[in-house]
Amino acid sequence: MTVRKFAFDVSWVFISNIITLATGFLLSVILGRFLGAAPLGLFKMTSTIYAITSLVGGIGIPVAIVKYVAEYKEDKEKLNIFVSCGVVNSVIFGAIAGTVLFTLSNTLANVFNMPELTGLIKIIAFSLPFLVVNNTLLGLLNGLREMKSYSFRTVFRSAFLLGFTILFVGIGLGIKGAVLAVLSSEVGTLFLLIFISRNFFNFVIQDYVKTTRELVKFGSQLFLASAIYMVNTYTDTLLVGFFLMDKDVGIYAIAIALSKSFLIIPGSLSTVTYPAISEYNSKGSHESVGNLINKSMKYSLIILSILGILIVFFSKDIILLLLKPEFLPAVTPIAILILGMIFFGSMSSIGSAFTAVGRPDIPFKTNMFAAVVNLSLDVVLIPILGITGAAIGTATSFSVLTILAIYLLNKILNVKIDIRWYAKVLSTIALIIAAFFIFKDWMNLYLLISILFGGYLTLVSKFLITRDDKKDFWKMAKQILKKSSY
């Protein structure tokens, strides 16, 4: 993959992810501002349960499709067999998962002591078959690196979701309208993906049993890793809902939304690096794998640190501008989460590297360990510190996950990461954020921000990145901007 092609692919995914992020954050603002923290909390709980169940319904098939399509993109017959089998199984498993979720709706509502969840879960259960099939067809586009089509689907779904939410909430359906909007957007997206993907594969039923075994065998390993990762991702929200109230879930949802907002950058990179690493590895280009991993992680950390610091500095202003004062308790959790997300974001830019080289067992093991850390800390800290405790548990677990990944990159893939460089960057970020909270009540806020932020940019430019890093970074950025203007 050339730098130009890589940059073009990232630009398409980045633009679509920006739109997705803006849509998700705007939805949170709309629901929080016009319905309040408690309804937003109910929506967040429903979305969390939906995301976890959709993973179960897919059992790793959508991600497995990316790998097989990337490997067999020159073998049209093989590609058709794998994708067709994946679609059929997605319909079957998605329908089963939806049925189970519908049946358990009342039980889940009782577990979290939120009676209103029952109706919302029943509505969202109908979305599962559509979502799983959509993800499988997206796997086809991702594996082929058809990032323009991949991104167009994302933009289309975001527009549908936002439009239906405004319509349904506007006519008085409340939080049920927001959940109905999710269902409507998935149905509409499926028709779009069918229209797009028909140009890239022909539906065939051939070697179904054999192909299903292979898909499920590989996909189940991915499923286990993804399931543990998702547990780690959503443990804080679920336990806030369990120990606290729906209002607390809503406030914490804003903290999560702001702290994770800039993760679209490594997420965009990961979408492209996964098939690229898989292809390089299949060709034995281990040096290319190492270079891609190092540059992706390094550039991600620098960009995320700059954006993260700005979000911490202006989090209070953002909340008061977009929401209501009842959401101000999210400020402290935002700062804690951002420290963890900056570190984790650098690794998530190449988060699928182990899977791409045929070692899906590694993400499973590392995510399992991080999930245990997260669960343990959340159970202890949330009853004591509330949503701040949830933020501490989550930030710590993601940092542990990143440290493990860096260690295993060196040990297993022989990719050497400069640990001392990462330690310098992260310690500098921590000191700047600490200085902000210490001195923000003693001097003019905007003067303090100018001094701290200017100082960090100077350190980054002078001491933390090399001249070659700057050349490579700006070369890629220019390609992305050029592509974005088309």
Of 234 and 2, the structure prediction assigns the larger pLDDT to 234
- Residue 146 backbone class (left: φ over 0; alpha: ψ -120 to 50; beta: rest): beta
Which residue, chain included where needed, has tokens 């192909």? 211
Q: What is the pLDDT of residues 92-122, one digit of tens each?
A: 999 999 999 999 999 999 999 999 999 999 9
Percent of the chain with pLDDT over 90: 29
Which residue, chain included where needed, has tokens 């994946």? 86
Give dist(CA 439, CA 445) in Å, integer. Answer: 9
Q: What is the pLDDT of residues 76-87, one digit of tens each?
A: 888 888 888 989
pLDDT score for 1: 47
Per-domain residue ranges for the chain? 3-484
Q: What is the pLDDT of residues 320-330, one digit of tens each?
A: 988 888 899 99
In the chain, the amino acid numbered 117 is L
At residue 267 the predicted structure's pLDDT band, cuts being 50, 70 and 90, is: low
Asked whether the predicted pLDDT for residue 478 surpasses 60, the reply is: no
Q: What is the pLDDT of residues 428-461, one digit of tens each?
A: 888 998 899 888 888 888 898 899 989 888 887 7
What pTM value is reported for the model? 0.75
The pair phi, psi for residue 123, each rounded to 5°, is: -65, -50
At residue 165 the predicted structure's pLDDT band, cuts being 50, 70 and 90, is: very high
Of 187 and 277, the structure prediction assigns the larger pLDDT to 187
Question: Which of 68-72, 91-95, 347-351, 405-409 shows the lowest mean pLDDT across its residues?
Answer: 347-351
Asked whether the predicted pLDDT for residue 483 surpasses 50, the reply is: no
pLDDT score for 186: 93
Q: What is the pLDDT of residues 12-30, one digit of tens each?
A: 666 776 777 778 888 888 8
Asked whether the predicted pLDDT for residue 417 surpasses 70, the reply is: yes
Question: Which of 285-294, 321-330, 396-405 shows the lowest mean pLDDT across its residues?
Answer: 285-294
Question: Which of 147-161, 203-217, 229-243 shows the lowest mean pLDDT across its residues?
Answer: 147-161
Q: In 323-386, where does DSSP find H-type helix?
A: 331-348, 353-356, 361-385
Q: What contacts 387, CB < 8 A, 6 or more positions away?
A: 240, 244, 248, 251, 252, 255, 329, 330, 333
At residue 7 the predicted structure's pLDDT band, cuts being 50, 70 and 90, is: low
At residue 8 the predicted structure's pLDDT band, cuts being 50, 70 and 90, is: low
Percent of the chain with pLDDT over 70: 84
Give the DSSP per-residue string, 21-79: HHHHHHHHHHHHHHT-HHHHHHHHHHHHHHHHHHHHHHTTHHHHHHHHHHHSTT-HHHH
Report angle CA 144, 260, 42 to the nearest 5 degrees: 105
Burial of 239 (0-12, 13-18, 19+ CB in 10 A): buried
Which residue, chain included where needed, has tokens 């460089």? 421
